[in-house]
Structure 1
């Protein structure tokens, strides 16, 4: 087998020098036969694997002659003739054509070299328009040579080339709605509105998010209506102007250019009603213990509470309904008042207050105790009598006044006088011993009961009496030694110096003791006064006094009191000064009188 000839280089890849030589014969084209000096062996391409065998030497000569013409246009490489060759019925659409086969049609038709100078791309449209050419045949070479075909006129006998159209851009992907919003729940509510809150969708997409539509419908229907005219931008909305007591189903839909997202709906219908605060009874401190009231007193107890909306208040007494004829109940939004005009023993008991808001409730209890004076002891008796003592015993009262007994009061009375005297007070035992009774007297005893209200109105008296008997006693009076009370006079209070005013009486005082009774004697300037009527001498129970009536200028001096008895005597002295009055006229008037 002959060796495979070397492959022919493509016209577009030849050296630049050959391109310049090919540009000269444009003015005078030569016949195709003269343009092929190369031997057949040099131009015959070696068939590639899977390609058809090369054409005979006779057919290859014209292809070589057309090579310079193809090289004259530097803008169009030789590969641009591929569409024309593909349009031939002899060439398969999927087989690459060598350069010799591309130029063969031009050589067979005997077209002048000038026609071959036209770009090979000009033949591409005609070849594509051929019914034999497949519509989906690739034409990369024709597209590359399009600028050269626009600059030159088409060859004679060929159709005018069509301008290539720009590729149509692919259609944009369709816009899709977002995913459903998340975490829808009720934030707050009252009697006319419901506040809801939610989170934005997990998937938003390229179309973005325009807002949210909030829709409601009543329970039992499917008539969903939007409550917001414009799309809501934030994730919180207050549904207003609703009817109290309605149950609403609520849902939220996210909206964008792709449409509405799947809705997120509350799991349960919402009752349009004020949110309930748990009720709480605020029982005052003084009612947390037993509340004691006397019979006949007025009872007015105010018990505050909290809760929202207004709680329903109910009262029970000992687990049963209240008697509204005896007890009045008045309740407001904040407290409840228990009122009894005049308390009776039957009003005592355990009162329970209950406040309820929807399914929540709170209770508080208070113990009301109506008390009164107790009854007397059931019985009192004398258990024993000995010496100066009496033993008493008694039993508790049948009526304790609805409270505990705090003690007993025991009294005694002598039969001779009948006067009662308290022996024991606040005594807690049911027996007692009464002592220090008088011998020979007969006694009665009585006992009162005591509680918080006081003593019982009536006592219980012993039926029998207790007599303290006399006993045989040998009494010997003690022997007393007579005491000697004799004593010499002694002044216990001395005389004090005094100053007197002329015309105004004055007194001198002292005290003395002594046994036997001493004799008193007054002296003036060592002279015995005696029975002078200007002086008055008095001595009573040891108190000695000397009154000087309206003293004059000569009554001043030293006065002495002397006490004397059989055992001795005692003396005490003082000085008296008589002064002139401040108003001399008054002195004259006094002397004239």
Structure 2
């Protein structure tokens, strides 16, 4: 237990201080007296490890309490309480003195500085402005049925468009029977997901469902299903089986009958509906025939206004399937808007035209340009399937005048009408004198040359045979046949023929003496040539047995 502080005796210095306090204070001397008092603790600061002589330690009475050099803190002040501070405060104040600024007042400074500390007290802070109240979110979007059976219903939705700064706590899903207002919560707690399965339902009921978003601001406006949902098992969900030919684009010509069959699946029988460009069909022009398996879109006579995007929807209860097909009705295009003759020079004419105003509801595939001589008036095609809007017509005849016309082509065909130039292209006569080129006569002289030689042959006695070869040469060569290097004359046994370079020697019913080497020789002024072959004539040998049978 700390001891009691020693009683303070009034020394002569203290008595003088009391008398000074009773007398009216003079303003000028106050700061002069304060300066030595503030500096006193700094000069009397004990060295490290030594006890402070100013205040007695706990439990030990001060021996120097009555000394005239006691600290100013022991002297009573008029503005401070007379009770002295505990002795334990002195060492702490003295310990902080070495590190403190010399100008800063010490902890046990005279009580004359107390009024200054009171003046620096800060005002209490003002209360913060309360935040604005939270606002509920907007309604959930696109509430739809995902699945349904005899005892449960699964729905999905999208988050609200506007959520706000307070965030979103979750969704509350509620349902009630159609025709009543008794809404029942599907779940006890809020769900953070965008999907909910409502279970333990009764088959045959017709339910209304709504979804509410909840945040710090409260409940939002409900997002509801478009129509009540019957609780029953869907045997086969609706599905459209669009034919491959109709998946991209169906192109028909004006006046053509249109009969498009689109099959589908679904049980019980789905409800089928059609839209054209998002609007109901014109029943005066389009007929729809539905069965349990397909839907037929029928137009008796197709017109340009029947073109568009047709959307088919099949629906069984809350389940549906959609498919669309694009129908394009096309026809022949119109003529070019204008065509003009831009320039004529030499034997050439330059044309320019503009695309047609009516392309037949399909893209332009090309142009056909024709010309006509003013003398004859007959039209001739000069360019076909031409893709540019400018063309140069060449090889025109000098002194003639020409008109030009342009047709338009698309996938249906060529336009019935054309655009004709108003100007006439006249090819002026010039002083050019035609000088035919001079050609040197070709020397066709050629020495005989056999292109097909003779081939060795074997003949049978009594059977006519023929030798063939071919020769060329200019002038026409003279043909001679030789047998064993002897010229065959006009012997009736041999028939010599030479026609168009084909040379033949026919030997009629040869005998064994007609065999040998045959030569064909061709001669003209440029030279001669010869080919040879060997002919063997064989005798048929009849067996002796066959001879006796013949007798």
- Could you say what secondary structure the match of 1:411 adopts? strand
Question: Does structure 2 retain, via aligned residues, the 8 Å contact 1:275–1:309?
Answer: no
- Could you say what secondary structure the match of 2:364 adopts? coil
Match of 1:326 among 285, 288, 294: 285
Q: 1:480 to 1:284 in 2, by over 3 A?
A: closer
Q: 1:583 to 1:396 in 2, by over 3 A?
A: farther
Give the superposition deviation at 1:453. Answer: 1.5
- Could you say what secondary structure the match of 1:454 adopts? coil
The correspondence of residues 113-152 of structure 1 with structure 2, limited to 5 A, is none
Unaligned runs of at least 5 residues, structure 2 = 1-146, 154-176, 183-198, 209-227, 544-551
- The corresponding residue for 1:297 is 256
Q: 1:404 to 1:566 in 2, by over 3 A?
A: closer
The correspondence of residues 77-226 of structure 1 with structure 2, limited to 5 A, is 190=150
- The corresponding residue for 2:457 is 498
Give the superposition deviation at 1:432. Answer: 0.9
Question: Does structure 2 retain, via aligned residues, the 8 Å contact 1:304–1:336?
Answer: yes
CA distance in 2, matches of 1:568, 1:484: 15
CA distance in 2, matches of 1:396, 1:219: 64
- Could you say what secondary structure the match of 1:314 adopts? strand
| Superimposed CA distance per residue, residues 538-585 of structure 1 (whole angstroms, 9 cap, x where no aligned partner) | 33343332222333333222222233344543332222222345889x
Question: Does structure 1 retain, via aligned residues, the 8 Å contact 2:257–2:302?
Answer: yes
CA distance in 2, matches of 1:314, 1:567: 96
CA distance in 2, matches of 1:492, 1:378: 66
- The corresponding residue for 2:514 is 555
| Superimposed CA distance per residue, residues 317-362 of structure 1 (whole angstroms, 9 cap, x where no aligned partner) | 2443322232122334565332223322221123233455667766
- The corresponding residue for 2:232 is 274
Give the superposition deviation at 1:298. Answer: 3.5
Give the superposition deviation at 1:408. Answer: 1.0
1:375 partnered with 2:334: yes
CA distance in 2, matches of 1:562, 1:527: 12
- The corresponding residue for 1:427 is 386
- The corresponding residue for 2:413 is 454
- Could you say what secondary structure the match of 1:448 adopts? strand
CA radius of gyration, larger in: 1
CA distance in 2, matches of 1:549, 1:306: 89
- The corresponding residue for 2:371 is 412
| Superimposed CA distance per residue, residues 502-551 of structure 1 (whole angstroms, 9 cap, x where no aligned partner) | 34333222333444443322222232222223322233343332222333
Q: 1:421 to 1:547 in 2, by over 3 A?
A: farther
- The corresponding residue for 1:468 is 427
CA distance in 1, matches of 2:279, 2:202: 44
Which shifted more, 531-540 or 352-361? 352-361
Match of 1:387 among 333, 336, 346: 346
Give the superposition deviation at 1:237. Answer: 8.3
CA distance in 2, matches of 1:520, 1:218: 118
Question: Does structure 2 retain, via aligned residues, the 8 Å contact 1:275–1:308?
Answer: no
CA RMSD of aligned residues (A): 4.4
CA distance in 2, matches of 1:238, 1:368: 45
Question: Does structure 2 retain, via aligned residues, the 8 Å contact 1:496–1:574?
Answer: yes
CA distance in 2, matches of 1:238, 1:522: 118
- The corresponding residue for 1:225 is none
- The corresponding residue for 1:345 is 304
Q: 1:401 to 1:579 in 2, by over 3 A?
A: same
- The corresponding residue for 2:486 is 527
- The corresponding residue for 1:537 is 496
CA distance in 1, matches of 2:245, 2:536: 78
1:512 partnered with 2:471: yes
Q: 1:549 to 1:380 in 2, by over 3 A?
A: farther
Which shifted more, 560-569 or 482-491? 482-491
Give the superposition deviation at 1:492. Answer: 3.6
Give the superposition deviation at 1:433. Answer: 0.8
CA distance in 2, matches of 1:571, 1:549: 23
Q: 1:551 to 1:329 in 2, by over 3 A?
A: same
Give the superposition deviation at 1:410. Answer: 1.9
Question: Does structure 1 retain, via aligned residues, the 8 Å contact 2:255–2:303?
Answer: yes
Question: Does structure 1 retain, via aligned residues, the 8 Å contact 2:287–2:297?
Answer: yes
Match of 2:536 among 568, 577, 581: 577
CA distance in 1, matches of 2:439, 2:258: 73
CA distance in 2, matches of 1:308, 1:553: 100
- The corresponding residue for 1:27 is none
Q: 1:472 to 1:357 in 2, by over 3 A?
A: same
- Could you say what secondary structure the match of 1:346 adopts? helix
CA distance in 1, matches of 2:451, 2:479: 14
- The corresponding residue for 2:396 is 437
The correspondence of residues 32-71 of structure 1 with structure 2, limited to 5 A, is none
| Superimposed CA distance per residue, residues 143-178 of structure 1 (whole angstroms, 9 cap, x where no aligned partner) | xxxxxxxxxxxxxxxxxxxxxxxxxxxxxxxxxxxx
- Could you say what secondary structure the match of 1:572 adopts? strand
CA distance in 2, matches of 1:322, 1:454: 31
- Could you say what secondary structure the match of 1:324 adopts? coil
- The corresponding residue for 2:139 is none
Which shifted more, 290-299 or 437-446? 437-446
TM (norm. structure 1) is 0.48
CA distance in 2, matches of 1:220, 1:335: 38
Unaligned runs of at least 5 residues, structure 1 = 1-186, 197-216, 223-235, 248-269, 585-593
| Superimposed CA distance per residue, residues 468-517 of structure 1 (whole angstroms, 9 cap, x where no aligned partner) | 33432245555555555544444343222222333433322233344444
Question: Does structure 2 retain, via aligned residues, the 8 Å contact 1:300–1:337?
Answer: yes
CA distance in 1, matches of 2:363, 2:449: 69
